[in-house]
Chains A and B, each alone.
Chain A
Amino acid sequence: MSLYAIAPALPLHAAGKYVAGAYIVFVLVILIYVTIMAIRLGRTERALVELGRDIARREEAGGDAPGAPAELDLEGEAAHLSGASRGPGDSPL
C-alpha cells in the first residue's frame, strides 16, 4: 500500500495554510520574474535615452554619426514606444 493511500485528509483549518502556501509560491515566482524583467526593461530604456543623447552630442559637434540617417527621430521613436504619441488601438506590441 502506498504512503499516499494511508495518509489521512487534513481538516480544512490545517490544510488551508499549505494550499495557500503552494499558490503563494507560484504567484511569488511569477512576481520575482516580472520584477527582474522590469529592472532589465528600465536598463534598456536608459540605454536608449543615452543613445539619443550621444547622437545629439555628435550632431551638435558637427560630425555625422557613421551610417546615421539624417532624419532619424529617436526622441519621437522613444515617445511612440512609451505611448506618449499613441493613438487608440495603436499598440507598440
Chain B
Amino acid sequence: MPTYGKGLRGLSILTFATITVALILVFFYVPLDATQGFIQKIFYIHVPLAIVSLCGFVFGGVLAVMHLRTGDRRYDMRSYVAIHMALIFGVAALVAGSIWAKASWGHWWVWNDPTLVSYLIILLMFATYMPFRFSIEDPERQARYASVFAILGGAFVPLNFIAVRAAQQYVHPRVLTLTGSNLPGPMLLTFLVSLLGIALLYITLWKYEMAAKNARIQLRALRRRLLGDDDLSPLQRSAAPSL
C-alpha cells in the first residue's frame, strides 16, 4: 500500500511559504486597482480558489477514469478525496465571491450572469456526489457508479467553461482570456503566486486526507490480522470508499 505522508512535511512548508509570499504581495506590493480600489484584493483569493476547485473536479474525473480502467479501488479513494477537497475550495470561492459582489455590485448574488450561475450549477452537482455515494450500500457498486458520476461531472466542467466563454451577456469581468491576461505585470505576478499557493494548498490537503484515510484503513487491517474478524465491528454505511 502506498504511503501518502511521504514528502508531506516539505510540501506543507512550501505551501505555507508560498501563501505567506502571496499575502505579502497582495497587501504590500501590488498597486490598488484604478476602478475597484482596495476591494479588488479579493480577486487574489477568490479567482485562484475557483480555478483550483474546478481543476480539482476535473482531477477527480481523471482519477475516476483510472479506477474504471484498472479496477483498483485506491483510485476511487483518490477521486473521492479530490472531489471532497474541490468542494471545500469551491464553497470558499463562492463565499469570497459573494462578499466581493456585495461590495462591488451591491448584491450578494446576481442571477443573470452565466459565470456565477454555471459555477453554482457545477458546485451543486458535485454536492450531490456524497449523498449519491451514501445511497448505494454495496461498496463495489458504489465505487463504480461514483466513478461514472465523477467522469461525467469532470467532463462537464470544461464544456461548461467553453459555453460560458461563448456568452455575450455577462456581469463578471473577463480578466483572463485564452490569448493572455488583461492584468498589468505586478498584478499578474501576484495572481500567479496566489494561484500557486492555493494549488499547493489543495495538493497538501489532498495528501493529508489520503494519509489519514490510509492510516485508518491500515489500522483496521492490522486489527483484523491480529485479532481476527470476530473482534471487528462491521463497517458502518458510509459515503467514503472502503478498501
What is the interface of chain A, defined by CB distance below 8 A to chain B?
2-5, 7, 9-12, 14-16, 18-19, 21-23, 25-26, 29-30, 33, 37, 40-41, 44, 47-48, 51, 54-55, 58, 65-68, 72, 91-93
Contacts and interface: CB of A to CB of B under 8 A. Distances in A.
A26 B99 CA distance: 12
B125 interface: no
Given A18-B102, A66-B228, A67-B226, A93 B39 contact: no
A58 B6 CA distance: 34
B5 A92 contact: yes
B95 to A, nearest CB: 5
Given A10-B37, A55-B226, A65-B227, A4 B105 contact: yes
B41 A19 contact: yes
Contacts of B8: 93
Contacts of B237: none
Contacts of A65: 226-228
Contact of A51 (B39, B216, B222): B222
Interface size class of B (residues with CB under 8 A): 35 or more
14 contacts: A4-B171, A7-B35, A12-B37, A12-B38, A14-B103, A18-B99, A22-B45, A22-B96, A25-B95, A25-B96, A29-B95, A37-B209, A51-B226, A66-B225
A93 B5 contact: yes
B219 interface: yes
B91 interface: yes
Nearest to B172: A4
Contacts of B38: 9-10, 12, 15-16, 19
Nearest to B23: A23
Interface of B: 5-9, 33, 35-39, 41-42, 45-46, 49, 88, 91-92, 95-96, 99-100, 102-106, 110, 170-173, 201, 205, 208-209, 212, 215-216, 219, 222-223, 225-228, 231
Contact of B88 (A4, A15, A33): A33
Nearest to B5: A93
A9 B36 contact: yes
A55 B219 CA distance: 13
Contacts of B41: 19
Nearest to A17: B103
A59 to B, nearest CB: 11
A40 B238 CA distance: 15
Given A48-B219, A51-B226, A67-B226, A3 B105 contact: yes
A67 B35 CA distance: 70
A26 B45 contact: yes
